[in-house]
Amino acid sequence: MNGFKLTTLLALSASALALAACGSSEVASPGEGDFGGGTGPTTPPVTPPVTPGTPAADCPTGFANVGVVANGTLRACQLPTTITGNLTVPLRAGTVYAISNRTQVGTDMGADPSAPVAGSQQGILTIEAGVRLYGSAGSDYLLVNRGSQIFAEGTATNPIIFTSRANIDGTTTESSQGQWGGVVLAGRAPTAVCPVGVTAPNVACVGQIEGTSANYGGNTAGDSSGRLRYVQIRYSGFEISPNNELQALTLAGVGTGTTVEYIQAYNSSDDGIEIFGGTVNLRHIVINGADDDGFDVDTGWQGGAQFGIITQRATAVTNGSRGFEWSAAPSGTTYYTRPRVSNWTIVGRNAAVAADAVLTLNTGVNPTIINSVVTNPSTSAAACLDIDDAQTVANNPVFRSVYFACSRPYENDSNVNAAATEAVFITATNINNTAAGTSTMTAPAGATLQAQSLAFINGTNESAVPVTNAPAVYSWFQNVTYIGAVQNAADTWFTGWTCGLQAGSSC
């Protein structure tokens, strides 16, 4: 997506707003009912044992029984349209959970925690480890509003899975995508989207989240939207209108009090993860097969992300694609997007056009990239790095211990040419960088995906790169002794809770 798309959101069509409207009974997913919001119990009742391969007889209190799925082997229990109070989604034999239309946790409580919107209600959604939830159409998505929280905490061996009805029914393939909406968190942390005459950070700075009619932003940097840990989000992404899409995971105005770690975004038809403003930090991220950008940030995000794997599709299904697409829009702001990343490995596709540079930086972003590996096939038309504007250059981007192994290192366009980009990448302080390396990375043993390269484990060349002291650059970073996301074959932080990356684990 381009760096200025958020401005289009303020002019969403009435039809798009109606699609996202809370509690709509007119837009229902195929085969699923729609019912009013409510508050479920904190502790669900005990249910009798279920014979494997047969559906549960009923649904927990607070959920609607909408029949069976997966060829009659699983009971489908639908979440309320609006969740207020406390609701737990329990792990039960023979049970999966349906997300129908815009399913929201709480109602928007506003930007200021000390002055919540009159009549607004908080919701707290807890999802137990091992639970599977699905959507059936692009209008099905989960939204956590400002002032509410989600606690979706899987484990390394028992992740929480958000996926599509087709995946539950067993009909998805490696090319499947865009079969439901995705997961959206809205918080009260700062954003660069401000009224005329107001300078961020300011509680008056509020934006509207792409793909929804929900608002985000405020001036609470430490705001908490809860915890997401060991979570897969499969086959998501939906275009509401041009440049207005849902992605696997959207984090909008999310603060540092929120935990986001061990997240896999698989085969999103739009971005894997997109961040609008906020201060949230992320750790241990896997993004496979996003049809647009892997990791897209915008409107003043000022956080960090450490340990990330991006593997792109061999060819895009509908869109272009970049590994990182980082923007600072809206134009004119001095509250720049300031992403800081360490230990990422990005495996780019065999791009058909030069515009799909693996790293694309524009509209005055102020980036820091250290201890990372970027590669694409030697036949790709795209470069490793494209810096698109003078303001980004003036912000003095930080690149340290970054290893490029692409068809060519720099994009040579009319905005910032290859020579000017090289002058940014290699300076007196941007050190230990390799512009024209050769990848020696390997794939995990038994890797199952065929539609994209899974060679993201460091080899001899990557291991030889001197390492930058990560905590000295950003105190939240963990100290490391290697570049890239995966040090060697013995480094298995991505196994067990992900799908499709090792033998016996298909998506």
Phi, psi values for residue 161, rounded to 5°? -125, 120
Give CA–CA dist 253/257, Å, rounded: 12
Report DSSP state, residue 415. S
In a domain, 503, yes or no: no
Q: Does residue 243 have a pLDDT over 90?
A: no
Give the containing element (helix H, strand E) for 182: strand 182-186
Q: Does residue 32 have a pLDDT over 80?
A: no
| 291: Cα within 13 Å, side-chain hemisphere | 24
Tens digits of per-residue pLDDT, 193-222? 999 999 999 999 999 997 788 999 999 999
Give CA–CA dist 29/494, Å, rounded: 33
Give CA–CA dist 507/501, Å, rounded: 9
Give the pLDDT band (50/70/90) at residue 479. very high
Least confident of 52-66, 448-462, 474-488: 448-462
In a domain, 79, yes or no: yes
249-252 and 238-241 as β-strands: parallel, antiparallel, unpaired?
A: unpaired
b/e string for 385-403 if b means 16 or more Cβ within 10 A?
bbbbbebbbebebbbbbbb
- For tokens 């470069």, the residue is 383
Please give the pLDDT value at position 320.
63
For residues 434-454, average pLDDT: 86
Instruction: Name the β-bridge partners of 363.
Output: none
Please give the pLDDT value at position 33.
33
Q: Does residue 144 have a pLDDT over 60?
A: yes
Q: Does residue 17 have a pLDDT over 80?
A: no
What is the count of structural domains for the chain?
1
Q: Does residue 150 have a pLDDT over 70?
A: yes
Give the pLDDT band (50/70/90) at residue 450. low
In a domain, 403, yes or no: no
| 209: Cα within 13 Å, side-chain hemisphere | 33
Please give the pLDDT value at position 12.
34
Give CA–CA dist 121/108, Å, rounded: 8
Tens digits of per-residue pLDDT, 345-373? 999 988 888 888 999 999 999 999 999 99
Which amino acid makes up residue 150?
Answer: I
In a domain, 483, yes or no: no
Please give the pLDDT value at position 497.
97
Percentage of the residues of the chain whose pLDDT score is greater than 90 = 76
Report DSSP state, residue 17. H
Q: Which two tokens stand for residue 147?
A: 């002032």
Cα 500 vs. chain centroid, distance in angstroms?
18
Give CA–CA dist 501/288, Å, rounded: 9
Residue-by-residue DSSP string for 435-472: SS-----BPPTT----SS----B--HHHHTSPPP-HHH
Please give the pLDDT value at position 366.
97
Instruction: Name the β-bridge partners of 306.
Output: 283, 342
Give the containing element (helix H, strand E) for 361: strand 359-361
In a domain, 298, yes or no: no
In a domain, 325, yes or no: no
Please give the pLDDT value at position 11.
36
b/e string for 1-21 if b means 16 or more Cβ within 10 A?
bebebbeebeebeeebeebbe
Instruction: Name the β-bridge partners of 85.
Output: 123
Tens digits of per-residue pLDDT, 97-139? 999 999 999 999 999 999 999 999 999 999 999 999 999 999 9
Please give the pLDDT value at position 489.
95
Please give the pLDDT value at position 242.
65
CB 388 within 8 A of CB 414: no
Tens digits of per-residue pLDDT, 280-336? 999 999 999 888 899 999 999 999 999 999 998 876 655 567 999 999 988 778 999
In a domain, 249, yes or no: yes
Please give the pLDDT value at position 352.
85
Rank 56-65, 238-247, 354-363 by mean pLDDT and report only the highest. Answer: 56-65
Give the pLDDT band (50/70/90) at residue 16. very low
Give CA–CA dist 203/215, Å, rounded: 13
Torsion of CA 311, 313, 315, 317, to 10 degrees: -140
In a domain, 166, yes or no: yes
Q: Which domain holds residue 275?
A: 6-280
